[in-house]
Structures are given as C-alpha cells and as structure tokens.
A and B are shown apart, each in its own frame.
Chain A
Amino acid sequence: AQRVTQPEKLLSVFKGAPVELKCNYSYSGSPELFWYVQYSRQRLQLLLRHISRESIKGFTADLNKGETSFHLKKPFAQEEDSAMYYCALSGHNQGGKLIFGQGTELSVKP
C-alpha cells in the first residue's frame, strides 16, 4: 500500500535553531518524493523534490531508500518559515497523482 507518514503534527522551534520535519513512505517501487508548503492563507506550492537535489529557501531533503525516508531539513529556521509542510509521493505510471502525508505545522518563534 502507498502511504506517506509525517509523525509530527506540530513542530515548534526558535528562530535560528535547526529544524527537521520527518517523512516516511511506503511504496513498492521507486517513487518520486516531494515537499509542498502552505503558508497562511496561501495555496499549496512546491518546495522541493528529490529528483532535483536542490536547496530551496535553505531547505534540503535527501531521499533515503533504505530507511524509506525523505526528511526536510534547514540548519537555521526563520520566522517566515512558519507554515504547513506536506510530504507527498508520486508513483510511476499513476498519472502524476500525489499521495500526501498528514502535514506538519512548523512554528518558528522569535
């Protein structure tokens, strides 16, 4: 079964602290993994995807196939990073549909 699990519903850190949002997945094959972000009162938007291996707004995520994880990390959190973060999976030959995790609310305090 395809599943994306984000164990933390809420993550609260102080500005400047490192942050790691956890994501584990279950998929029989080689999926594509994404992180989407939803800022307050805004639409969902792509943050990054594992294929690109890029850093966006200081965030990085590495796909660990052995641990079936795709954790999102940032060394120094900023207040503007406060948002809902969703990990998502897309399987091959599935027409591009996304399976989302439950989401983690990141709150960065001053």
Chain B
Amino acid sequence: GAVVSQHPSRVICKSGTSVKIECRSLDFQATTMFWYRQFPKQSLMLMATSNEGSKATYEQGVEKDKFLINHASLTLSTLTVTSAHPEDSSFYICSARVGQAAREAFFGQGTRLTVV
C-alpha cells in the first residue's frame, strides 16, 4: 500500500514558539492531503484540506492564521502551528489519497505535539 510519512513523530516546544510538521507521500503523488487533530481516545477532527499549488481549505472553527498549511509539491504538505499554546497540544495526523478518484486514504503515523 501507499506510504505517508510524518515528521517529527514527537515534538515538545515552548509556549509562543512555532512548530512545523511535515507530511510526505513516499511512493505516490498526492494533489490533496488532509490534516486531522486527534485528542486521546477521541475521534479525528478534520482541520483542513491541503491542495497542491493552492490555498488550503479550512474547516469551520479552525484558525487559518494559527495553523498554516503549505502544499508546495505533490509529495509534501506542511502544517505550522504558530505561536503555540498548551491548548494546542494534541496528536496531529495527515492523510493523502492516491489519485483524485481514489476513496481510500492513507494515514501518516501522526505527530504528538506538546506545548509547555
């Protein structure tokens, strides 16, 4: 199956700093990637849809100036949490589809962000 890789898998940062999370499709090109946030033992909440070469589409209630998404190439999307606060601590997961018509999404291993 297709592989989606996230980096880093864990990050601890100080309050007020910014953190960048990378999501790469290793063996396929992904014109669309998705960013989710997951709280412990809870569901995945879709944050935004990342489109290669264009602006991301954010879900209602997600601050686009706080969660900056860049999808500069067909294999890389980045999520930057700006001016992080403790309440941003969470598990962030990206996913990508193989081709526009494909329904199956492949998920990254996730990034555990802890803001202290």
Contact = CB atoms under 8 A, between A and B. Distances in A.
A69 interface: no
Contacts of B46: 97-100
A58 B36 CA distance: 29
Interface SS of chain B: helix, strand, loop or mixed? strand
Interface residues of B, number: 23
Interface stretch (B18-26, B66-74, B76-84, B97-105): B97-105
Contact of A96 (B45, B102, B109): B102
Given A98-B34, A102-B42, A43 B97 contact: no
Contact of B41 (A98, A101, A105): A105
A29 interface: no
Nearest to B45: A100
B105 A43 contact: no
B108 A43 contact: yes
B103 A49 contact: yes
B103 A51 contact: yes
B42 A103 contact: yes
18 contacts: A34-B103, A42-B109, A43-B108, A43-B109, A44-B93, A44-B95, A49-B103, A51-B103, A96-B97, A96-B103, A97-B46, A98-B95, A98-B105, A100-B36, A100-B44, A100-B45, A101-B43, A103-B41
